[in-house]
Amino acid sequence: MKQPKFSFKDFQILLAFVLLGLFLAAVLVTLNWWLAGQFGAGADLLPAWNGARAFLFENTDPYSQTIAQETQRAVYGRAIRTGEHPYALDIPFPLFLFFLLPLYLYQLLQMLLPALPVPDPSWTIWMRAVWMTLSEIGLVFLVFFPLRLADWRPPRWFSVLLLAFALTWSYAASAFLDGSFSILLVLALVGALFAMRDFRDEMAGFLLAISAMKWETTLLLWAFLILAALTARRWRVFSGIGMTWFVLGVVAFLIYPNWFWPYARAVAANWRADDLLTPARFLEEWLPNFGANLSLLIVSALLLILVVEWFAALRGKDFRRVVWAFALAIAVTPLLGFSNTFANLAPLVFSFAFILPFAWERWKKFPYLILSLIVALFFALPLLLRTFVASSLLAEGLTFLLPPILILLGLYWIRWYVVHPPLTWLDGVKRELQK
């Protein structure tokens, strides 16, 4: 049978779609450029951007105190004080190569066109705009991937409503304006989950390898996927990780052989001062006598629950239960005691979205009306807490702790439906007709 030829008309249609996509991307980047100029400083992205620019165009150590001070002036408007976050670059150099690559390409372009300007601090807003755009696209995937993994296709209007609330959620806005890595790193790990489901183990290994940083966001998800690969004896996942790290390590050694100790000092500086948002901080302030012990007890109980649920999910054959355990890890991460920011709560949209298909199964009458109310209340929660809670300390603590706690409760509310699907074939047909 002859394959249909790619006609000139097909080429015109494809070209039109490409041009339209580029136009929309340019509009979005421009809008984000305006937002970046009005709000925030891009504190999470600045160490990587300043370090990459200085390393290539100023021949400066990206982990040096000089680069950290440049970031501090941009964030605080002054030098840091005791206890404040130093914003030292804490990305291992082999993974930092991904941030250097665009500037390497620009440097090569400068050789062909010497009139091109050298990147300077004034380019920061444009870099933030590009990163914001990538994070917004990443959040869209984090909203819709769990629906796909649960094999649920809601009406288009509900999908638009869910996406609109997710993109305007205060934690998502913080992630966009801070230049947070959280959304894109969790998205990479979701991609690794997809890849392992489809037996593309080397790709899963690659995604695990490049996401091995910012452990306050990724550690539990990384550990879960590694445990999944070990349990299933998927050794090619580890070969993918090893090959990626080996290649990046060799390139990093050739470019900057002595990167490790400056990197270790930067990590230590951040860890010493990085006491931002933790459950222990709030519990100790609310319950001075036993808050610290209660925090330790909660962390221990959560770790025990995770281990039990992970092994139970990985021993089974239902992939939805594996996704449920993955969503559970995302919800538990902010409660484990890592020093965090509100921006790192943005990936919770994955776990929240995964609850919705099973909540839809729960209500026979007006399910989308009830789900719409749940979506509106959940995403409005941070605003409601900051508006109606008089104590600033209490409002800050509840704003940080309540979303993961509510999602944790929601995941256990739907657990029975995940582990024991209640619908018969006929019930499933009836429910599909009700959509």
- Measured distance CA(228)–CA(242) in Å, rounded: 17
Domains contained in the chain, number:
1
To the nearest whole percent, how much of the chain has pLDDT over 70?
A: 94
Q: How confident is the model at residue 18 (pLDDT cuts 50, 70, 90)?
A: confident
Model confidence at 429, pLDDT cuts 50, 70, 90, reads very low
Record the tokens describing residue 379, joined without a space.
């995403």
Is residue 16 assigned to a domain?
no
Interval 282-297: pLDDT, tens: 888 888 888 888 888 9
Is 33 inside a domain boundary?
A: no
18 falls within a domain = no
- In this prediction, residue 8 carries a pLDDT of 65
Do the beta carbons of residue 159 and residue 188 sit within 8 Å?
no
Q: Can you say whether the dihedral through the CA atoms of 210, 212, 218, 221 is positive or negative? A: positive
DSSP track, 259-284: -HHHHHHHHHHHHHH---B-HHHHHH
**pLDDT for the residue numbered 263:** 92
Residue 40 to residue 48: CA distance in whole angstroms: 16
Residue 279 counted as domain residue: yes
Query: Residue 431 carries which side chain, given as an amino acid letter?
Result: R
- State both tokens at 348: 């919770």
Per-residue pLDDT at 427 exceeds 70: no
Other CB atoms within 10 Å distance of the CB of residue 159: 14
Q: Report pTM.
A: 0.91
pLDDT surpassing 90 at residue 4:
no
Torsion of CA 401, 402, 407, 410, to 10 degrees: 140
Instruction: For CA atoms 329, 333, 335, 341, give the dihedral sign.
Output: negative
Distance CA 296, CA 287 (A): 13
Question: What pLDDT, on the 0 to 100 scale, is given for residue 260?
Answer: 92
Banded model confidence at residue 1, pLDDT cuts 50, 70, 90: very low
User: Average pLDDT, stretch 21-32?
Assistant: 88
The stretch 259-273 carries a mean pLDDT of: 86
Kindly state the average pLDDT of the residues 420-432. Answer: 52
The boundaries of the domain holding residue 212 are 142-256+273-433
Of residues 337 and 34, more confidence is placed in 34
**pLDDT 10s digits, 99-132:** 888 888 888 888 888 888 888 778 889 999 999 9
Residue type for position 193: L
Continuous H helices in 316-366: 319-332, 348-362
186: pLDDT strictly greater than 80 = yes
- Average pLDDT of the residues in 170-174: 94
Percent of residues, the chain, with pLDDT higher than 90: 51
How many helices and strands (H and E) does the chain possess?
A: 20, 0
